[in-house]
Amino acid sequence: MTTAADAHPDAAAPVVIPVDAMRAIYEETKTPHKQGIILRGDEGKPLDCPSVFRFDNAWFMLYVRMNKVGYETHLAQSDDLVKWTPLGKVLSFRDADVWDRWQCDGGIALVDHEWEGTHAPQTFDGKYWMSYIGGALQGYETDPLSIGMAYTKTPNQPIEWTRCEHNPVLGPSDKDARDFEKKTLYKSQIIHDKSETLGHPFVMFYNGKQEGKVGTERIGMAVSQDMVHWSRLDGGPVIDNGAVGISGDPQIVRIGELWVMFYFGHRWQPKAFDTFAVSRDLVNWTKWTGEHLIEPSEPWDATFAHKPWVLKHGGVVYHYYCAVGNEGRCIALATSKEI
């Protein structure tokens, strides 16, 4: 197992990000203008977990559609980041009795993480990649869930992605699983850190659930050389909001010299909302304690406003999230400016 000290010599001396720098990140990323629901499931089926990327001069979104029995991953396309057209499934239920038969919740990996960058996914080994939650049991996020990898050469096409033979790459029953993740593993995001801050080019952030801790989820890390074989970064979770808190669905971007993690919170403050943390080394994170980036405020997101994917393009910040309210579970959008 890779340890924090081995991966990054300064990890033992965490640096707290100053309040003024944290405030500057908030001011840069806030999106007070809610545009409403931008994607609904056919026949009222719930949607979840947006991740957005640019490919071949168009915008694409991987998202999850929930059937009565579990998760499948779908693809949508947009020309303007506001109007979205569903294209079809890219990760489906399986016929065989395998570890991910009834759950496959995927998100795009290796997207350019620079704040005003290309937003394009990068290739590794000639392939585009996603990581996904997989599970063998039917229902809504039925435990246990593990993390798998899939790849394609056509991320802009509604064609089934190929799942790695080595799957699952991380699971709650692994020998090196930490206490906070021994029940289930949830949503993950993978960045390509070309500077190899932690001694590896690929870094995964994900949230896990602890045995016996109902409703408690924390965010941890793993590293890899090849996108298939992963080692947990020792030292416990990097985001922990207490014994009654859920912290999940991390997304990592680079703003100037700082790493920013968008993630959602639930239970440790009222309702469900999106917030962020900031780091200089990817290991030690200072949590923002001010205003939420997104929180319930409208009939259509009155129950939950959470699970962020945030990007900046053309001077506008776009914040995609899962909205739960009087129209069910849908994908919604908030922006930094009126559009």
User: What is the model's pLDDT at position 202?
Assistant: 98
- Please tell me the distance from the alpha carbon of residue 130 to that of residue 90, in angstroms, as a whole number: 11
If one compares 15 and 97, the residue with the highest pLDDT of the two is: 97
208: pLDDT strictly greater than 90:
yes
pLDDT > 70: percent of the chain: 96
Query: Helical H runs in 8-75?
Result: 19-29
Mean pLDDT for the stretch of residues 87-99: 96
Closest CA to 140 of 299, 272, 329, 274: 329
Q: What's the pLDDT score for residue 87?
A: 98
Residue 2 reports pLDDT greater than 60: no
Instruction: For residue 122, give Cα distances in angstroms to 2, 33, 74, 84, 311.
Output: 25, 31, 20, 23, 16
Single out the residue of 3, 9, 37, 17 nearest to residue 223, CA to CA: 3
The identity of residue 41, as a single letter, is G
* Cβ atoms 312, 115 nearer than 8 A: yes
Q: Which residue has the higher pLDDT, 253 or 215?
A: 253
Q: What global pTM score does this model have?
A: 0.95
pLDDT at 235: 82
For 107-161, how does the pLDDT look when each residue is reduced to its tens digit (9 = 90+)?
999 999 999 999 999 999 999 999 999 999 999 999 999 999 999 999 999 999 9
Residue 57, C-beta contacts closer than 8 angstroms, at least 6 positions apart: none
Tell me how far apart the alpha carbons of residues 100 and 135 are, in angstroms, rounded to a whole number. 4
Helix (H) or strand (E) holding 7: helix 4-7
- 234-275: pLDDT as tens digits: 889 999 998 788 999 999 999 999 999 999 999 989 899 999
Q: Is the pLDDT of residue 89 over 50?
A: yes
The amino acid sitting at 323 is: A
Q: What confidence category does residue 13 fall into, taking pLDDT thresholds of 50, 70 and 90?
A: low
State residue 270's pLDDT score.
Answer: 87
Q: What is the pLDDT of residue 213?
A: 67
Q: What is the pLDDT of residues 47-63, one digit of tens each?
A: 999 999 999 999 999 99
- Confirm if 164 and 95 have CB atoms less than 8 A apart: no
Average pLDDT over residues 68-80: 96
Question: pLDDT tens, 295-327?
Answer: 999 999 999 999 999 999 999 999 999 999 999
DSSP state at residue 134: E
pLDDT for the residue numbered 244? 82
- Mean pLDDT over the full length of the chain: 94
- Domains belonging to the chain, first-starting first, are 4-335 (2.115.10.20)
For residue 144, is the peptide bond before it cis, meaning its omega torsion is within 30 degrees of 0?
Answer: yes
pLDDT above 60: residue 195: yes
pLDDT of residue 301: 98
